């Protein structure tokens, strides 16, 4: 597939200092999607200071459908995802974390779930089972998810999973803020769309250490939660619009 070929699905992978995980994960993404949709892979290098850029450059020579974006300095996971979505050429965008804990084998199921819902679904969200994180990180995640669910009533037990598929146009409707990726289910519902859920099996990262956290600074998470609650409360129905033609 050439860089100019039509694309149905864009895979967006935010990374920071994940040099050891680049080649194995790209190979798994290709194995999961080859023979299915016409797709592109977009890596967003979020200010890495290790050999991530070099590993990505090597892969670009091997894979014509791999595109790489670079942030001059680290701007966070939400900013990296947004950069990838804005650059995406596919009407459907799927995301996964760049550390290898998200298994690309589930990408097909997520994309198919979104497609089968037609225009009704705006998001297909992975829900992790058998998580491989530390006990403290799992406690953080459970605590944050319970508070979020109680306040927003978004019907989602796990918003921290990086495996998601969504309509690009729906994502771009939503107000952007740092931490957006943690609140996608609530914001997609705010726009009037339903959500499909897919159980996905978590696994240990290939190498390296965690670079992006989930509610690592609790007070920021609480402020974000209050902001999303306010956005939902302030949402008004979108009016039906028709263009008036000259008689």
Q: Does 58 map to a domain?
A: yes
* Position 62 confidence tier, pLDDT thresholds 50, 70, 90: very high
- The CATH number given to whatever domain includes residue 81 is 3.90.550.10
In this structure, the number of other CB atoms found within 10 A of the CB of residue 204 comes to 10
Cα dihedral 116, 188, 158, 43 sign:
positive
Residue 32 lies in a domain: yes
> What residues does 44 pair with on adjacent strands?
14, 69
Q: What is the pTM of this model?
A: 0.80
* Residue 107 is assigned to a structural domain of this protein: yes
**3-class SS of residue 247:** coil
Residue 18 lies in a domain: yes
Looking at the chain, the number of H-run helices and the number of E-run strands are 8, 7
User: Which is higher by pLDDT, 105 or 237?
Assistant: 105
By residue count, the chain amounts to 247
> Does residue 70 surpass a pLDDT of 90?
yes
**236-239, long-range: CB < 8 A, 24+ apart:** 238/192
Domain annotation covers residue 247 = no
Residue 153 confidence (pLDDT): 61
| Chain-centre distance for alpha carbon 12 | 7
Q: Which domain holds residue 158?
A: 9-234
Specify whether the CB–CB gap between 74 and 38 falls below 8 A.
Answer: no
217 compared with 73, residue with greater pLDDT: 73
Identify the pLDDT of residue 92: 98
**pLDDT value of position 116:** 92
Containing H/E element for 45? strand 39-46
Q: Is residue 229 part of a domain?
A: yes
Give, as one character, the DSSP assignment of residue 20.
G
Lowest mean pLDDT among 29-43, 77-91, 137-151, 185-199: 137-151
pLDDT higher at 241 or 65: 65
- Residue 55 CA to residue 49 CA, distance in Å, equals 12
Cα-based distances in Å from 63 to 36, 41, 141, 230: 17, 9, 35, 44
DSSP string, 108-171: HHHHHHHHHTGGGEEEEEEEEES--S-HHHHHHHHHHHHHHHHHH----S----S-EEEEHHHH
What is the enclosing helix (H) or strand (E) of 189? helix 184-190
Number of domains in the chain: 1
- Whether 16 maps to a domain, the answer reads yes
Read off the pLDDT band of 192 (50, 70, 90).
confident
* Residue 2 is assigned to a structural domain of this protein: no
In the prediction, which pLDDT does 216 show?
A: 47
Which range of 50-59, 147-156, 232-241 scores highest in mean pLDDT? It is 50-59
- Predicted confidence (pLDDT) at residue 218 exceeds the cutoff of 60: no
Q: How confident is the model at residue 219 (pLDDT cuts 50, 70, 90)?
A: very low
Average pLDDT, the chain: 84
What number is the average pLDDT over the span 163-167?
A: 96
- What is the rounded average pLDDT of the residues 38-51? 97
- For residue 207, the model assigns a pLDDT of 64
Q: State residue 214's pLDDT score.
A: 46
162-187 as b/e: b if 16+ CB within 10 A: bbbbbbbebbebbeeeebbbbbbbbb
């Amino acid at each position: 597939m050439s860089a100019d070929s039509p694309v149905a699905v864009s895979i967006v992978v935010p990374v920071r200092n994940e040099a050891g995980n680049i080649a194995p994960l790209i190979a798994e993404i290709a194995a999961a999607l080859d023979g299915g949709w016409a797709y592109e892979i977009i890596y967003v290098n979020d200010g890495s200071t290790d050999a991530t850029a070099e590993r990505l450059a090597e892969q670009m020579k091997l894979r014509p459908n791999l595109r790489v974006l670079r942030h001059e300095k680290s701007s966070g996971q939400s900013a990296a995802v947004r950069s990838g979505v804005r650059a995406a050429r596919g009407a459907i965008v799927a995301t996964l974390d760049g550390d290898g804990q998200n298994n690309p084998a589930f990408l097909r199921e997520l994309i198919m779930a979104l497609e089968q819902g037609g225009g009704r679904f705006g998001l297909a969200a992975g829900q992790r089972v058998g998580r491989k994180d530390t006990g403290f990180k799992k406690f953080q995640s459970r605590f944050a998810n319970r508070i979020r669910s109680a306040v927003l009533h978004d019907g989602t037990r796990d918003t921290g999973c990086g495996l998601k598929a969504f309509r690009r146009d729906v994502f771009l409707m939503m107000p952007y803020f740092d931490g957006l990726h943690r609140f996608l289910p609530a914001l997609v519902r705010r726009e009037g769309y339903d959500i499909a859920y897919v159980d996905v099996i978590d696994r240990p990262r290939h190498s390296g250490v965690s670079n992006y956290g989930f509610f690592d600074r609790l007070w920021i998470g609480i402020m974000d939660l209050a902001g999303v609650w306010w956005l939902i409360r302030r949402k008004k129905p979108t009016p039906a619009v028709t263009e008036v033609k000259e008689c």
